[in-house]
Amino acid sequence: MRCVFCNKPVHGGDGMSITGLGVAHQQCFQADEALRRTFQNLDIRALNDQELVELKDLILAEQNSRKPPEEFEDVELF
């Protein structure tokens, strides 16, 4: 069995199995995990450009809807 990340043979001690992928060295898995851009099981690198724009718009819309209304921000207190 070869590591799914570096493609070198995996021997017993330093290997681990990844569901659906195969086996990997523990170091390779940890290195990959550090580089991966995931959010709650969503791998944003797997999105195409259009989907990424849609995700960004969703986030901006949600942020805007959570902001307090402008009129309350500009009230002057005496």
**Contact residues for Zn ion, defined by CB under 5 A:** 3, 5-6, 25, 28
Beta-ladder partners of 24: 16
Identify the helix (H) or strand (E) that includes residue 63: helix 49-66
CB of 19 to Zn ion, least distance (A): 17
Question: Residue 6 or residue 47: which is nearer to Zn ion going by CB?
Answer: 6
Question: Residue 26 or residue 38: which is nearer to Zn ion going by CB?
Answer: 26
CB of 24 to Zn ion, least distance (A): 6
Question: Residue 18 or residue 42: which is nearer to Zn ion going by CB?
Answer: 18
d(CA 26, CA 34): 12
